[in-house]
A and B are shown apart, each in its own frame.
Chain A
Amino acid sequence: MSFDPAITLFSCHYTSQQSCAEEGNELEQLGFPSSIRLVRVPCTGKLQVTTLLQAFEDGADGVYVVGCPADGCHNVKGSVRAAKRVAAVRAALEELGVEGGRVEMYHLPRGLHPEFVEKGKEMDGRIRDLGPSPF
């Protein structure tokens, strides 16, 4: 069954810089999925488990986080902390009998890079395969 997913992306200020390029139109021009709602945060290390869970409560079918490379975070360990919290949410979803793949962490280079769009497409495809959130 095909459906239009709602995906929430929390991305750090540094890895989502291209969202600002061309007055915000560049991502769309590069084919970034329209199903993804981008929330920019100063550092993914500030994200709490509750923030990610709230996104599911607010209706997201999938949630993912994009932060700096694990060994090159602008704030030293921010993206590593984020990855730990994403893992905690994944474990909690699985405890509730929900696919852990509905939440993901990506470490990407800062600035303008095609991987940012590729991972968006990857997440969009994954959530379309999984179907609507059971919540």
Chain B
Amino acid sequence: MIVAERKPMAEIIGMVKDCKKVLVLACRGCVTVCSAGGEREAEILSSLIRLGMKKEGKSVETTIGSLVRQCDREYIDEIDQWKGQYDAVVSTACGVGVNFISNLRKDTMVYPALNTTFFGGSSEQGEWTEQCAGCGDCILHLTGGLCPVARCAKSLMNGPCGGSVDGKCEIAKDVECVWQSIHDRLCSFDRSAQMEVITPIRDWSTAGHGGPRKTVRDDLTV
């Protein structure tokens, strides 16, 4: 899922300081699962916006809405049901949602309530860790299913580096060295020889270094 976390309240209050009516718009997709921008978090944020504005001597009316997702055209259209009830939208979706609303609603000012952080999974309750960098050229079949692009601090293609000690990365004692994990996992499948294969210099154009990425499926376009 896409993992995100709420922005500092001072930043959010700064966005809406001139608004009289705000639509706090939750997303029932990834950010609900990672407890950053679902309906519950939108309710909390609404209350904090009202309190924060009141502290600044201003009043603001908040409406809470939610969409199935904010990353599909058909769901964005549902914003019309709150027409006239807001000066601006504070979206608790990831950055994709904020962009989609901006793309599709030319007359709607939309502000991001979240910092979108990474593609990850819930490693334990209340904790999410980065697992994928969305680099566009997956090599997981060569690395035992563990991603060095996302999980190695240096995104090394030929690791581990000299900073790997006792299975931990040199950046912090609680960060695994994913190359140690890759080694251990390949060994467990009797594929340690894969560690000897030198991965050549990588073409990073698929990772966004070649500009914004786009996927077109001809079989789905009519």
Contact = CB atoms under 8 A, between A and B. Distances in A.
Interface of A: 48-50, 53-54, 56-57, 92, 95-98, 134-135
Nearest to A56: B51
16 contacts: A49-B44, A50-B40, A50-B43, A50-B47, A57-B47, A57-B51, A92-B9, A92-B48, A95-B9, A96-B9, A96-B51, A96-B52, A97-B10, A134-B55, A135-B51, A135-B55
Interface residues of B, number: 14
Interface string B44-88: 100110111011000000000000000000000000000000000
Contact of A50 (B8, B13, B44): B44
Interface in B139-184: none
Contacts of B43: 50
Contacts, number: 36
Residue with the greatest number of chain B CB neighbours at <10 A, chosen from A48, A57, A96, A134: A96
A54 B51 CA distance: 9
A50 B40 CA distance: 9
B56 to A, nearest CB: 9
A96 B44 CA distance: 13
Contacts of B52: 96
A56 B9 CA distance: 17
Contacts of A57: 47, 50-51
Contacts of B10: 95-97
Contacts of B44: 49-50, 53, 92
